[in-house]
């Protein structure tokens, strides 16, 4: 299994937590968080809240273990790396949702659907057309 190397360093940084209490605690916290996601309908708790809490606790446990092993810099670099990736994804999704909401508000999708149906596109054909368009636009 490949290991993430912070900052592209060639040193092999690995703290094995598979048989450590921290590894077991991380798995238990993940399972509890996932159980809260599954019971969303009964708890009225949004899925994101238990997952963010669980991931924060797991990252804290991992950070403490890395700091205790003298690898605090590696934990810091890992958190920075993943935080930047999360921020990039968050900003992309925020922008995409803003565009979709603006187009929905201006009824662009309704106009497009009625134009396509008016020009003889069946729902099956609409499915394939939108799938093909999405396939080619997704890398952009």
Token output for 64 = 């403490």
* Encoded tokens for 76: 């810091």
Give the separation between CA 115 and CA 134, rounded to whole angstroms.
18
pLDDT digits (tens, 9 = 90+) for 60-73: 998 898 888 888 88
Write out pLDDT tens, residues 90-127: 999 999 999 989 999 999 888 988 888 888 888 888 88
Model confidence at 11: pLDDT above 80: no
Rounded to two decimals, the pTM is 0.58
Residues whose CB falls within 8 Å of the CB of residue 117, separated by 6 or more in sequence, listed in order: 126
């Amino acid at each position: 299994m490949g290991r993430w190397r912070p900052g592209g360093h060639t040193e092999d940084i690995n703290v094995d937590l598979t048989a450590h209490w921290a590894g077991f605690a991380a798995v238990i916290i993940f399972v509890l968080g996932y159980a809260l996601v599954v019971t969303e309908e009964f708890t009225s708790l949004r899925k994101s809240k238990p997952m963010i809490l669980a991931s924060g606790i797991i990252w804290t446990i991992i950070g403490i273990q890395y700091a205790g092993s003298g690898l605090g810099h590696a934990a810091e670099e890992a958190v920075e790396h993943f935080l930047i990736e999360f921020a990039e994804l968050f900003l992309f999704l925020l922008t995409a949702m803003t565009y979709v909401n603006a187009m929905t508000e201006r009824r662009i999708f309704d106009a497009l659907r009625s134009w396509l149906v008016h020009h003889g596109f069946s729902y099956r054909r609409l499915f394939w057309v939108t799938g093909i368009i999405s396939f080619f636009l997704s890398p952009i």
